[in-house]
Structure 1
Amino acid sequence: MHTVAVVQAGSVPFDAEASVDKAIARLREAAGNGAELVVFPEAFIGGYPKGSTFGAPVGMRTEQGRAQFQRYFDGAVAVDGPEMGKLAEAAREVGAFVVIGIIERSGNTLYCTAVMVDPELGVVGAHRKLMPTGTERMIWGFGDGSTLDTMDTPFGRVGSVICWENYMPLLRQAMYAKGVELYCAPTVDDRPTWTATMTHIALEGRTHVLSACQFITKSEFPDDHPFDEELPYGETAIRGGSVIIAPTGEVLAGPVYEEETILYADIDLGAKTRSHLDFDPVGHYARPDVFELRVDTRAKGSVSFE
């Protein structure tokens, strides 16, 4: 058995250093309680600017929106930057593997990225969200197939799929084919329907699912942060709903709403093997004579110098 943890907490919006410090505090707490894998929410470092339009109605851009984007850009981090180095050092100190959502700055573009940190090797994987949802496409670039990372760990093969990517059946199939055993789903989807999605994925992939969602209130944002639309839960910007689910569909922890917390569960990797007796979506229950999925894992740069 291996102990895993899901952190439900809010970032410190637009303040990477403070968010890293908060992540390290939660990491130390989880590892102190025996967690070998600690999963954080989407955009934990950099923040998720819920309710803002960045001054970008159709056919228009405002100077206020551009200024807001600059603040967001300045609060982002590079995968190989000092902030992630500080987090990797903390992971080494406590001996825990970390999956954490960041707003990644690369050149002049931001990406919503899930970073995997090995306690011995440091940053070993970074999955950029393939399909930003709705107006996220205004502020985030698109990932490509080169970042569909999964990593072997002493407690199973870890992979990450971010928020509404989990509604992409072909992406899920690709992750199952990569042999994911601990399917990590950083998110900001706080709807009650999210647990049903996570349960379906656990049953479909016969995999453990660990979903971490932020809990953050409007008061945690800067006073001048524009909430351009009324939020569905009043003063709560993102209300949580983190959950851990076994390959059988059994909910091991959560969902929890309206508070910061850390969820724990003991993982039996044999449960995945046993569950494949009657179902393997990329093996004996697949029909390659009828269906075929091809995944392009080449990096797609916009410019190539030869």
Structure 2
Amino acid sequence: MNSKVHGDPSEPVRVAVVQSEPCWFDVEAGVKKTCNLIAEAAEGGAKLIAFPELWIPGYPNFIWAYTPKVISEYYIKYYRNAVDIESPHMDRIRAAARKAKLMVVISIAERDRGTLYMAQIFIGPDGGILSHRRKFKPTHFERVLFGDSSGDCTNNVVQTDLGRVGGLQCFEHLQPLLKYNTYSKGEQIHVAAWPNLFPPVGKMPFFNTVDSCTWASHVYAVEGSTFVLLASHVQTEKGLRAHGFLDGDDSSERSHTAVIGGGFSEIIAPDGRTLVKSPSASYDGLIYANLDFDEIYMAKNTVDPVGHYSRPDIFQLHVNDKVNTCVVSPSQPEQVAHASRYSELKDDPAQGIVDGVAGLE
């Protein structure tokens, strides 16, 4: 790179992508592991780290395996280990980002009063919350646990010193209009947060397999002319045990989520090439790549679906990005899921946060 273009970085941006096993149903251990991975990414020279979907407290694989009666038994444990955005748990993650001087894009099960949401949080290298969005629509059985988003789902790209960073979660990559809205924001680095996924098991639909979802991520890179950081979970015997998958003897009756492995993290170039991928489905750690923005400009020179390769005289997308609330009252300001709602991160010895993260040893 020789000169700045639209304020973009003039040198390649080093990024880290997570492929690791969550700390199932354990928010304290999950926060500790998150902070350790942030520190590791910084030591590896990364300026941004991308986490999988529902990293804390782990993707609820049990929802695909059991009846509603059994799912209810897991729900309370899952709810109690979800994360409140305005909690000491999130403060510790924010403090870790600040200490590492690293941008963090993390997906969590967000607990907001009585409802859970599939949230994606963008944290700046100063620990500030740049954006807070919720999944457009929980997919299939996910609706047993999680609520819908509002207009906050469209606020998914932020301007940073690393370029314009955005993100979607899992099957949001199959939502054409949501994708197009994201492309229109000039996204350059995209975090694709996925859970653990597997080859076909039994009669499971092929579109829910690792191959299909990997293809969707590559299509996203090509359509958006953006780098895609595909982050995914791994499941070991610990995960099987946490979800009760080791209790039954009849393997033919097991869910497609009751499989060891499931990781498929990779970093994809704007022309759809794989730059780097995890060594195996069971690999647990970080993968890195250096992103050269010239690759974005070359890709967009050929196909820019929100620029020279668009036809707004024929097709236009209308977006309602307002966050609607259940009650509207002139005497009460609206409390919406927006980055401006959250206070600056401050040192608080009572919470063990002093220029970084304490209490994690």
Given the two structures, how large is their TM-score scaled by the length of structure 1? 0.92
Task: Indicate the SS of the match to 2:289.
Answer: strand
Q: Does 1:278 align with 2:289?
A: no
* Deviation at residue 252 of structure 1 after TM alignment: 0.7
1:159-183 deviation line (CA, Å, top 9, x unaligned): 1100000000111100001111101
Larger radius of gyration: 2
Output aligned runs, 1:13-32, within 5 Å: 13-32=24-43
Tell me how far apart the structure 2 counterparts of residues 98 and 34 of structure 1 sit (CA, whole Å): 14
- 2:82 alignment counterpart: 76
Q: 1:110 aligns with which of 91, 107, 116?
A: 116
Residue 230 in 1 paired to residue 237 in 2?
no
Confirm or deny: 8 A CA contact 1:214 1:240 kept in the other structure: yes
1:127·1:160 contact (CA, 8 Å) conserved in 2? no
Are residues 230 and 90 of structure 1, via their aligned partners in 2, closer, same or farther at CA, if it must alter by over 3 Å? same
Does the C-alpha gap of structure 1 residues 290 and 29 become closer, same or farther in structure 2, counting only changes over 3 Å? same
Residue 203 in structure 1 maps to residue 222 in structure 2: yes
Residue 276 (structure 2) aligns with: 253
Whether the 8 Å contact between 1:16 and 1:75 is mirrored in structure 2 is: yes
Count of residues in correspondence between the two structures: 300
Supply the distance in 2 between the matched residues of 1:54 and 1:72 (Cα, whole angstroms): 15
- Contact preservation (8 Å) 1:192, 1:241: no
> 1:42 & 1:213 partners in 2: Cα distance?
7
Match of 2:183, as an amino acid? Y
Give the structure 1 partner of residue 211 of structure 2. 192
Per mean C-alpha deviation after superposition, the further-off stretch among 189-198 and 272-281 is 189-198
1:156 matched to 2:167? The reply is: no
* 1:16-46 Cα distance to aligned partner (Å, 9 max, x none): 1110111111111111010001001111112
Give me the whole-angstrom Cα distance separating, in 2, the residues matched to 1:215 and 1:224: 14
Task: Return the match for 1:93 from 72, 93, 99.
Answer: 99
Equivalent residue of 2:301, what SS? coil
Which shifted more, 151-160 or 140-149? Answer: 140-149
What do the CA deviations read for 1:51-99 (whole angstroms, capped 9, x no partner)?
Answer: 3359655xxxx3x543321111101111121111101111111111001
Question: Match for 1:151: what amino acid?
Answer: V
Counterpart for residue 49 of structure 1: 60
- Partner in structure 1 of residue 206 of structure 2: none
* Partner SS, residue 52 of structure 1: helix
CA pair 35-289 structure 1, distance change in 2 beyond 3 A: same
Q: How many Å separate the matches in 1 of 2:72 and 2:322? A: 32
Q: Deviations over 1:209-237 (max 9, x none)?
A: 0110000224236557468951447541x
Using the TM superposition, name which of 23-32 and 212-221 deviates more: 212-221
- Structural RMSD (CA): 2.0
Aligned residue for 1:126, secondary structure, equals: strand
How far the C-alpha of 1:268 sits from its partner, in A, is: 0.7
Give the counterpart of 1:173 among 171, 180, 183. Answer: 180
Alpha-carbon deviation of 1:305? Answer: 2.2
The 8 Å contact of residues 63 and 142 in structure 2, kept in 1 or not, is answered as no
Pick one of 129, 132, 135 that aligns with 2:135.
Answer: 129
Q: Is the 8 A contact 1:41 1:187 kept in 2?
A: yes
Instruction: State the Cα distance separating 1:121 from its structure 2 match.
Output: 4.3
Asked whether the 8 Å contact 2:53–2:195 carries over to 1, the reply is yes
| TM-score, scaled relative to structure 2 | 0.78
- Equivalent residue in structure 2 for 1:297, among 317, 321, 324: 321
**Amino acid across the alignment from 2:229:** L
User: Which runs of 4 or more aligned residues in structure 1 lie more than 6 Å from their structure 2 counterparts after TM superposition?
Assistant: none
Aligned-residue identity in percent? 33
Name stretches of at least 5 consecutive residues in structure 1 with no aligned partner.
none
